[in-house]
Amino acid sequence: MQSLTAKIIGVGKALPEKRLTNADLEQMVETSDEWISKRVGIKERRIAQDDEYNSTFATTAAQAAIQMAGVDAKEIDFIIVATTTPDTVYPSVACLVQHNIGAVNASVLDVAAACTGFVYGAALAWGMIKSGLMKNILVIGSEINTAFVDWSDRDTCILFGDGAGAALFTVSDDANKGVLSMELGGDGSLKDLLVLPNSGSRKYTEPDGSPSLRATRMSGNEVYKNAVRHMNEAALAVLAKAGLTSEDVSLLIAHQANIRIIDAVAKRLKLPAEKVFINIEKYGNTSAATVPLALCEAVEQERLKPGDILVIDAFGAGLTWGAMAIRWA
């Protein structure tokens, strides 16, 4: 029986024009460019306007990926959008993208795994293609995080930005050219470390009984420790499953949440700086969009060539985590 896998043949990105710099934040909360830059590695982030929606950027990123791949939208079998900040709970962002790009034959699904969402979506795409059920699957990570930011909270308002990235996966009849392995994980017992209250049907209140603000709450130190541990373990797991070691890695694209997390993971994997892609300084944490945004820019900068081993690695609320090893084709 022929062994199939999935390979990426097109990538795309979309970002708001508006920039919010650290200097701007200095005028809003008690913080400084030096403190933000040293602590998380962010210099600026993109902010969506009132007439720009999650589906706006998801659609643009999707169109760019399709154009690069040279695939007609009618040939797409499945659209997966990783997001926790959709236009609406229903219809899904994937439905809106399908309509916007004319992918009339595509099934549609939104995936909610927070910052790990794109990796989860890529794993679903790989499984569907590897099984022979589908040929072309569009995976998008798209977020409007700033819609849920408490701009008076200096610990979280410095972190988040908006944007989208997309990758088009297609079938490869050579199992060694494309996705080699994946690792996914979660731990619901740590659910309270990173929470967006009042974003669903459950009502959150403060100790005095007043409604909680619908804004991200995070236990930063605990999130940091868990992120480093699980991202490191996930990366090692996918390499082991593929019969590889960290010495074989050509490029690591890790979730762009905090430069210290990325550096810590790279150090544990013994990867030099030139093998680690970083763009957090320009966009901040765009949640499920960070990995595909970075992937798109890595392709634009010609950081990947055929045969290279790429590892994508992410961690998010839930808690969730996941990694994937890909031989670039």
Size (the chain), residues = 329
Q: Calculate the alpha carbon distances from 231 to 4, 185, 217 in Å.
A: 27, 10, 21
Q: Which residue has the tokens 């659910």?
A: 191
pLDDT at 48: 98
Q: 309-319: buried (b, 16+ CB within 10 Å) or exposed (e) per residue?
A: bbbbbbbbbbb
**What SS3 state is found at 10?**
strand
* Catalytic status, residue 95: no
| Mean pLDDT in order along the chain per 10 residues (329 residues) | 89 98 97 96 98 98 98 98 98 98 98 98 98 98 96 93 99 96 98 93 90 90 96 98 98 97 97 98 98 98 98 98 98
How far apart are the C-alpha atoms of 97 and 33, rounded to whole Å? 37
Q: What is the pLDDT of residues 174-204, one digit of tens each?
A: 999 999 999 999 999 999 999 999 999 999 9
Catalytic residue among 22, 54, 95, 115: 115
Catalytic residue among 157, 255, 258, 296: 255
Cα 67 to chain center, whole Å? 21
Q: Which domains does the chain have, with CATH numbers?
A: 5-175 (3.40.47.10), 179-327 (3.40.47.10)
pLDDT at 85: 98
Catalytic residue among 136, 232, 285, 296: 285
How far apart are the C-alpha atoms of 85 and 212, rounded to whole Å? 18
pLDDT at 2: 65
